[in-house]
Amino acid sequence: MSAPAAVLPARGWTRRFRANPTSWLGVALIAAVVLAALLASTIWPLDPLEQNVAERLMAPTAAHPLGTDTFGRDVLARLLHAARISLLIGAFSIALAMTIGSAIGIAAGYLGGWFDAAVTSLLDVLLSFPTLLLGLMVVAMLGPSMGNLVIAIAITELAPFARVARAPTITLKGRDFVEAGRALGFSDLRLVVVHIIPNLLSEVVVVASLWLATAIRTEASLSFIGLGVKPPTATWGGMIREGFENILDAPWLALAPSLAILVTVLGLNLLGDGLRDAIDPRARRD
């Protein structure tokens, strides 16, 4: 009896995913964050940029449930609008990293030989840098802007995607159905696009959900250092930095965005773990 191949998700993974309560918690948390970001103005109609010097550093009240910051801006409104920016930057950078990283990994795995050896060594170098340091170097080179931030974060996360796409490509390349495709006269491009990519996509998606959490953290860290999105646009990292200056007088300023990041990262990790366990139940035991 032949065991199912490692690279192909076992059947019934949607059922296993649904049967796992922690993945549901992840889904609920992420859904809440996304909804809050999308409906920011509806939920809380105050303008996140409107300054009101008279109401500086106010403690939470009914009018400002999370208080106000040093410019008298409403923290709840800023938190909700920051969610949009943080999620967008995270999503765009992950999409970029996933596309380019997987393409590199698939090319290396499929072509093999010296190209594979060279790519693998380069990836090892890239992986040896701490994520934050690498992001810092790239932003410092490109200059801080939202687009550059996306590029910087994407570069820090290329290597994991390349790795996760390369290994199954090598396995799939040796599978009989790919060989059968070659015997049938299919081009390499067709074999990769039609027969290899769909069979490794699920694994890449799992990695994406886990690394999206890191991307959001990296964005926050860069913004915290001041290399992120320029003020006055609200981002979670930027809000923590601004709140940090008044951490003793108005702890809610740093606490609220920190909790928002915590919830998002936790939700993404639960979701990613749930997906991984559902798609490859064997990974669980490792």
Q: Which residues bind other proteins (CB under 8 A)?
A: 1-2, 5, 8, 11, 175-177, 179-187, 190, 194-195, 198-199
Q: CB 198 → other proteins: shortest distance, Å?
A: 5
Q: Minimum distance from CB of 115 to other proteins (Å)?
A: 18
List phi, psi (to 5°) of 40.
-45, -50
Residue 83: helix, strand or coil by DSSP? Answer: helix
Helix ranges restricted to H, the chain: 13-18, 21-38, 40-43, 75-111, 113-128, 131-142, 146-156, 158-173, 176-183, 188-190, 197-225, 236-244, 252-279
User: CA 179 from chain center: how many Å?
Assistant: 35
Q: What is the dihedral of CA 33, 260, 142, 150, to 10 degrees?
A: -20
- Nearer of residues 190 and 284 to other proteins, judged by Cβ: 190
Residue 45 or 185: the one with the smaller Cβ distance to other proteins is 185
The letter for the amino acid at 198 is P
> Tokens for 218?
């990296």
CB of 182 to other proteins, least distance (A): 6
Q: Name which of 4 and 130 has its Cβ closer to other proteins.
A: 4
Shortest CA distance to 210 belongs to which of 26, 44, 81? 26
- Nearer to other proteins by C-beta: 37 or 106? 106
Measure the CA–CA gap between 110 and 137, rounded to whole angstroms.
Answer: 31
Cβ closest to other proteins, residue 157 vs residue 280 = 280
Residue 189 Cβ vs other proteins, minimum distance, rounded to whole Å: 11
Residue closer to other proteins, measured from CB, 140 or 180? 180
DSSP 52: -
Cα separation, 5 vs 179, in Å, equals 16
Considering the complex, what minimum distance in angstroms separates the CB of residue 203 from other proteins? 13
For every residue of 102-166, DSSP letters joined together read HHHHHHHHHH-HHHHHHHHHHHHHHHHS-HHHHHHHHHHHH-S-HHHHHHHHHHHTHHHHHHHHH
Least CB distance to other proteins at residue 17 (A): 18
Q: Which is nearer to other proteins, 5 or 259 (CB)?
A: 5
What's the closest the beta carbon of residue 129 comes to other proteins, in angstroms? 25
Q: For other proteins, which is the closer residue by CB, 182 or 230?
A: 182
